[in-house]
Structure 1
Amino acid sequence: MSAASCLLSEDQFLCCICLDVFTDPVSTPCGHNFCKNCINEHWNSNDQYLCPLCKKVFYTKPELHINTFISEMVSQFRQEAQQKASSSSSEQQAAKPGEVPCDACTGTKLKALKSCLVCLTSYCETHLEPHLTVSRLKRHQLMDPVENLEDRMCKKHDKPLELFCKTDQTCVCMLCSVIDHKTHDVVPLKQEYEGKKAELGKTEAEIQKMIQKRRLKIKKITHSVDLNKEAADREKARGVQVFTALKESVERSLNELIETIEEKQRTTEKQAEDFIKELEQEISELKKRSSEVEKLSHSEDHLHLLQNFPSLKAAPPTKDWTEVSVRPSSYEGTVVKAVAQLEETLSKQKKKLVKAEAQLKKVQQYAVDVTLDPDTAHPQLILSKNKKQVNHGDVKKNLPDNRKRFSYCVSVLGKQSFSSGRFYFEVQVKEKTDWTLGVARRSINRKGNIKLSPQDGVWTIWLRNRNEYSANSGPAVRVSLKSEPQKVGVFVDYEKGLVSFYDVDAVALIYSFTGCSFTEKLYPFFSPCNNDGGKNSAPLIICPTSAVFTDPCKTQ
């Protein structure tokens, strides 16, 4: 029995009425088998007793008995199917929240693989097998598992919604297409699906394009915000510097005013003190003479009085104090005069600042896009991907020692060269303790020690030890700055032989090389100097200026 059952398929145990495995199988006189309830309901709903398979008509309702043989076979088949399902279910996953469960599972609901639009049932791998092997079930329409299969049936005709009415833009069943939508443009659901899917593909592509545009816009806006912040910080730094200078000027003018007033006060008091001292001296002399006169007037010695009378008869000589007076100093107009002088000083500083701003804006009009040339970089230098940053690394990289590369000094040149006209670029030197910036001619020595002087084809300024600024004019010239530059601008006028360096934030000229003689191509020159144990690890950064277009989407 067991061996024979292995040759049987589920197709042999299906009732042709319910299309499921027999339940209480019975045999008709014509030899066909059905579920007892299925054949009884079929006969009760019809006017005659007709076999659903061979169409044989019975004039009286046949007496039906359970087919024990088939019943045993079905029982055996169910048991084997249950064991197979149990074994398969251990390998399959139980349906998780949000997943469609198998409608045929009795215990743990397994995850459904397909839904049948004819049976209106979802099946797991095990329970789906009849639809893949039984010839009658193969004709059923399967789809990816979905819930609420009843929503896919026509409410009016209880048939699958397998057509699409393009006229009414609605899903319909086969009966709808020949009754209610007879004159309409009706196409198979799959055909309309493919068309709508293609449209959705175009919509998705357009949406993705819109997303990309907006992401790019976000990057541009963010870049603008960053530039705005830099400009705001730069302007705040300038404001602090300018108003600090103004404050110092006002305080200096106030001190000068107070000193002027106090000097006048001291002069008046000194004059009064001298007069009082002189008067007190005369008073002392007069008191002395008064004492002598009084003593002589009381003398009874006739001879003594007569002998001393000539020298005591008159008052001692004194100054005529009639016209002498101490007049208070005039302070009127002192404050007004001081304010006028302050206004003149501020006006000069304003003109100086405006002139400096105009000069910086003028040279910034010649801004160029400068990038670093990796072929010239010393092996210990680290360049960013966009060739805009350079800093010193502790490890010497194994690079080809070409004729362009600096092998001794930790330097790098710009990729761009200039042999005429004017050009300008800016470099951030923030948080660095040592750096060197400028321009160099093409024939600069790259394999040995570099003499930083115009005579050797290098026009640079540098910072050493955090606060020592010098122009390397051969010999070096110390440069005194009111503040530490955070960003340095470099301007070259090739024909005029001019190389100027600017403190961009302070809008101030740092130093200018004049009367230079250029006969070769000039290259921007950068040296971040040694790392110094991490103290000088910050990079030199070539900054964009307003005159140069920069792509905000590029990464460093």
Structure 2
Amino acid sequence: MAAASCLLTEDQFLCSICLDVFTDPVTLPCGHNFCNKCISEHWGINVLCQCPNCKEVFNKRPELRVNRFISEMAAQFRLSVEQEASSSCSEQQDAKPGEVPCDVCTGTKLKALKSCLVCLTSYCETHLEPHLTTPGLKRHQLIDPVENLEGRMCTKHDKLLELFCKTDQTCICILCSVSDHKTHEFVPVAEECEGKKAELKTTEDEIEHMIQKRQQKIQEIKQSVELSKKNADREIAAGVQVFTALKESVERSQAELIEKIKGKQRTTEEQAEGFIKELEEEITELKKRSSEVEQLSRSEDHIHLLQSFSSLNSAPPTRDWTEVSVRPPSYEGTVATAVNQLEKKLSGQMKPLVVAELKRVQQYTVDVKLDPDVVHSKPTQSNQKDKVNEGTKCRCVLSKQGFTSGRFYFEVRVRWRSTWTVGVARQSNINNLTTLSPKTGYWTVCSKWLGGYFACADPSVCLSLKPKPEKVGVFVDYEEGLVNFYDVDAAALIYSFTGCSFTDKIYPFFSLCANDGVRIHTNDKVCVLQ
């Protein structure tokens, strides 16, 4: 019997009505087999009593009896299928959290391979087999496994959502298209999906482009960090070298100062020791004479006393110590002189560094164009709030270009000028008579009428500038909050404003007296005060 069942195909054991393995199979006079229940219900609905397969009509409803042979064959086939399914299920993967389980499996749920939109059921590989082999089930629409298949059915008509309403932008069933959405524009779901896929492809391309741009930005940032690290390493190495040299110079100068002071002290001590030695020798000689005089005065030998009197009566020859003294050496000015010499030495060592730094910041040179429409009364350069005299009122001017980020550098020629103010300022404050300081939005260096220079800090800082600057360079790093002033010709740093908080646009700033017949113009990126 088992051998015979192996020769039969799966379709021979399936009822063409329920598309499942026969249950209580009966044979009609025409020879076709059906489940007893299926054919009974089929004839109960239809008026004609005919075979569902060959359409043969029976005038009298045939008496239905279970075909034992086919029933046994179907039972064996069912058992064989269940055994194969059990074996196949053991090789398949169990459904993990987040995966769609098979709706047919009992006990342990296996991972679903497909979902049927007609049956509204998800199937594992084994239970999907009838949908792949049975002609009737092959017509069902299979999709990748999804949960909530009921959500793909119209809640109103209980029909599959097959259409997409472009008017309401929602999925509808076939009955919705002739009722609620009758006047709307709708297309098959598959057609709309193709359009959406095209839009998604465009979105995907845009996202990919955005990803590429951000990956490029990451590379730029990494390169900037690498460059910054190289620059930092270079500056650290240069700084260590410079400060080592400065430290050695300071230590040498300190050693020379100490040696000089100690040399003076040794000279004083040696002089004192010479005087003391000479005095001690005279004391010894005087003590010896005193002893001889005492002995002679006690002598009873009159002849000896008289003969020795002339030689012992006078004191032995000694030095006149009245004007002799040991004067402590003067150290006034010793430290100041040493510091001054050290300052000159350090200045000579620092100059190559300032020259190199000046060359680096000059690469950020900008072309300064002054704005004739932005000329105002100059703010006071002192901490006093006295009103400026109208007859001597000065003028100030800003550049046309302002800066809100980055670095920039410009130079101002101040030769032959006795009074000038150079730096950067916030335009918002320039109309008001106020004190020049970072608090009021000015970062400047000034020259006074009677000579002398100062940084307009809070309070002002007097500057010692020698020689007199002829060209002043100004470097600004907006993000770092740094404003440096340089004597360009002397390659010297004049002053630094550090820790500045720039939040607004800042402009190059110039000021000089208007009643001096002074003109301001730009030439070769250098602002000239004439």
1:317 corresponds to:
317
Distance 2:32 2:76 in 1: 24
What CA distance in whole angstroms lies between the structure 2 residues aligned with 1:5 and 1:328?
131
* 2:252 alignment partner in structure 1: 252
How much identity, in percent, do the aligned residues show?
64
Q: How is 1:419-438 mapped onto 2 (pairs within 5 angstroms)? A: none
Change over 3 Å in CA distance of 1:307–1:19 after alignment to 2: same
CA–CA separation in structure 2 for the residues paired with 1:317 and 1:120 = 142
User: What is the match of residue 166 of structure 2?
Assistant: 166
Distance in 2, matches of 1:351 and 1:65, equals: 122
1:347 and 2:347 matched: yes
Q: Per the alignment, do residues 332 and 162 of structure 1 end up closer, same or farther by CA in structure 2, a change over 3 Å counting? A: same
Q: Within 2, Cα distance between the matches of 1:13 and 1:318?
A: 154
CA distance in 2, matches of 1:273, 1:4: 137
* Higher mean displacement: 5-14 or 74-83: 5-14
> Structure 2: how far apart are the matches of 1:107 and 1:200?
40
Mapping for residues 355-504 of structure 1, pairs under 5 Å: 355=355
Deviations 1:463-500 (A, max 9, x none): xxxxxxxxxxxxxxxxxxxxxxxxxxxxxxxxxxxxxx
What is the 5 A alignment of 1:29-428?
35-37=35-37, 67-69=65-67, 72-80=69-77, 82-84=79-81, 86-87=83-84, 90=87, 93-98=91-96, 99-104=99-104, 112-125=112-125, 127-355=127-355
Equivalenced residue count is 356
The TM-score normalised by the length of structure 1 is: 0.55
Deviation (angstroms), 1:210: 1.6
CA-CA distance at 1:188 after TM superposition: 0.7
User: Aligned partners of 1:39 and 1:91: how far apart in 2?
Assistant: 33
Out of 78-87 and 251-260, give the one that drifted further.
Answer: 78-87
| Aligned mates of 2:303, 2:80 — CA distance in 1 | 171
Shift of 1:101: 4.7
Label 1:264 to 1:5 Cα distance change in 2 as closer, same or farther (>3 A).
closer
Q: Deviations over 1:401-424 (max 9, x none)?
A: xxxxxxxxxxxxxxxxxxxxxxxx
Consecutive unaligned residues of structure 1, counting only runs of 5 or more, are: 364-556
Partner of 1:477: none
Write out per-residue CA displacement over residues 35-73 of structure 1, whole angstroms, 9 at most, x where no aligned residue.
5555676788x7x967595799999xx8x965312x642
| CA distance in structure 2 between the partners assigned to 1:180 and 1:268 by the alignment | 121
Spell out, residue by residue over 1:429-469, the C-alpha distance to the aligned partner (whole angstroms, 9 max, x if none): xxxxxxxxxxxxxxxxxxxxxxxxxxxxxxxxxxxxxxxxx
Spell out, residue by residue over 1:478-537, the C-alpha distance to the aligned partner (whole angstroms, 9 max, x if none).
Answer: xxxxxxxxxxxxxxxxxxxxxxxxxxxxxxxxxxxxxxxxxxxxxxxxxxxxxxxxxxxx
Give 1:360 shift: 9.3
Letter in 2 for 1:305: L
User: 1 CA distance for matches of 2:281 and 2:165?
Assistant: 132
Contact kept? 2:13, 2:22, Cα under 8 Å: no
CA contact (8 A) 1:27 1:67 kept: yes
Cα distance in 2 between the residues matched to 1:34 and 1:25: 5
5+ residue gaps, structure 2, are 364-530
Q: CA deviation at 1:86?
A: 3.6
Preserved CA contact (<8 Å) 2:26 2:34: yes
SS at match of 2:316: coil
> Which amino acid counterpart does residue 14 of structure 1 have in structure 2?
C
Paired residue type of 1:10: D
Return the offset for 1:273.
1.1
Aligned CA distance change for structure 1 residues 173 and 67 (closer, same or farther; 3 Å):
farther
Distance 1:103 1:358, change over 3 A: closer
Shift of 1:171: 1.5
Q: Which moved more, 1:5-14 or 1:152-161?
A: 5-14
Give the superposition deviation at 1:221: 0.9
- Match for 1:169: what amino acid? Q
Amino acid across the alignment from 1:142: L
Deviations 1:259-312 (A, max 9, x none): 111111111111111111111111122222222222222233333222222222
Name the SS of the counterpart of 2:175 in structure 1: helix
Distance 1:95 1:75, change over 3 A: farther
Tell me: higher relative CO, structure 1 or 2? Use CA pairs within 8 A at least 6 residues apart: 1
